[in-house]
């Protein structure tokens, strides 16, 4: 538990992987936005009892495009796993040219919120292919927007779920920035990888030759052991077995009491679209530690003072 109490927003919230991670670090979610009806139901079913004010205050939004950033409550950390279809192997890799539901432009929705609300920190997650998309031009737009237009530092790293104890690869691009700080001066460091806390044998409760599982995803479910699209079929005790919600939940780091009052198909889709909770928590913990060190109670960045002290020493 942290001494300071930070507030965060959960944009493109899915079923709440960011919410679980930051709430466990004593941070409070004051605004969340998710468009998908089924994901909203799962989010509500799991977080209403813990954070009723989020829902009763009208701050559980269903269309971020209709929100005036000025109306979002003040917060310290912006969290967003912004839509990755335009950048992923599962999509058409059109990037900012993607027109369907304006998915490719959702980054600029975040840009507008950051510009108006000026949070202390931003924490973004996307597929790893974003870094190389369109020969790096898409990523350069994001980087320049955060650094030069918004005035935040920009730290990024490919992080695997298996780097933080979970038995699946799931490489994702994590992007972290801090207000009023240049990237060249930033002292932020991503957390060091940890050992596996469980293997696929632990996930199934039976012998599985694969220690680290396939990345949990939406497409290719039920493809079979010998299909290159397979991600949910495993050899368990010598027989082919498919993942259920119970195993998928563990692989993603969601607690055992996390409930899905939706169909099995919907639940697996939601897990495949979610974030690896353990990896998010480890990075969020580093963000909060950084804020504790370098930000005063009034929200002003102390990094400038530290740099000036070093220069004048």
The domains located in the chain, with CATH, are: 7-181+264-312 (3.40.50.150), 200-249 (no CATH)
Of residues 157 and 312, the one with the higher pLDDT is 157
Catalytic residue ranges: 84
Average confidence (pLDDT) over 293-300 = 73
In percent, the amount of the chain with pLDDT more than 90 equals 73
67 pLDDT higher than 70: yes
> Confidence class of residue 313 from pLDDT cuts 50, 70 and 90?
very low
* pTM: predicted TM-score of the whole model, two decimal places: 0.89
270 pLDDT higher than 60: yes
* Residue 301 pLDDT: 73
Average confidence (pLDDT) over 70-99 = 70
Note the pLDDT tens digit of each residue in 8-50.
999 999 999 999 999 999 999 999 999 999 999 999 999 999 9
Residue 202's Cα: distance from chain center in Å? 25
* Residue 98 pLDDT: 45
> Confidence class of residue 103 from pLDDT cuts 50, 70 and 90?
very low
Q: Which of 3-12, 159-168, 239-248, 258-267 has the lowest mean pLDDT?
A: 3-12
* Residue 298 pLDDT: 64
* Residue 304 pLDDT: 58
240 pLDDT higher than 80: yes
CA distance 200 to 195: 14
User: Does residue 44 contact residue 35 with C-beta atoms inside 8 Å?
Assistant: no
C-alpha gyration radius of the chain: 20
* Residue 311 pLDDT: 37
> Confidence class of residue 307 from pLDDT cuts 50, 70 and 90?
very low
Q: Is residue 146 exposed (0-12), middle (13-18) or buried (19+ Cβ within 10 Å)?
A: buried
* Residue 2 pLDDT: 44
* Residue 299 pLDDT: 63
């Amino acid at each position: 538990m942290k001494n300071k109490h930070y507030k965060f927003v959960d944009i493109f919230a899915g079923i709440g992987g960011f919410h679980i991670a930051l709430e466990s670090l004593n941070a409070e979610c004051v605004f969340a936005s998710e468009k998908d009806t089924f994901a909203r139901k799962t989010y509500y079913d799991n977080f209403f009892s813990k954070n009723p004010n989020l829902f009763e205050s009208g701050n559980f939004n269903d269309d971020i495009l209709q929100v005036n950033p000025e109306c979002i409550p003040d917060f310290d950390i912006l969290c967003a796993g912004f839509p990755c279809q335009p950048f992923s192997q599962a999509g058409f890799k059109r990037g900012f040219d993607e027109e369907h539901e304006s998915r490719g432009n959702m980054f600029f929705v975040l840009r507008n919120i950051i510009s108006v609300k000026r949070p202390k920190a931003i924490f973004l997650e996307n597929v790893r292919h974003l870094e190389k998309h369109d020969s790096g031009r898409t990523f350069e737009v994001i980087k320049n927007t955060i650094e030069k237009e918004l005035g935040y530092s920009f730290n990024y790293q490919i992080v695997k779920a298996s780097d933080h104890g979970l038995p699946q690869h799931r490489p994702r691009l994590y992007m972290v920035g801090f207000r009023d700080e240049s990237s060249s001066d930033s002292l932020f460091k991503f957390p060091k990888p940890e050992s596996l806390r469980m293997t696929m044998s632990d996930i199934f409760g039976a012998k599985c030759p694969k220690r680290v599982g396939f990345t949990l995803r939406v497409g290719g479910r039920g493809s079979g052991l010998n299909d290159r699209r397979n991600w949910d079929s495993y050899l368990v005790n010598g027989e082919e077995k498919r993942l259920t919600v119970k195993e998928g939940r563990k692989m993603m780091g969601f607690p055992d009491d996390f409930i899905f009052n939706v169909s099995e198909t919907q639940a697996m889709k939601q897990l495949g679209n979610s974030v690896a909770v353990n990896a998010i928590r480890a990075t969020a913990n580093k963000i909060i530690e950084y804020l504790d060190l370098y930000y005063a109670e009034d929200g002003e960045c102390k990094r400038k003072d530290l740099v000036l002290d070093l220069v004048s020493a």
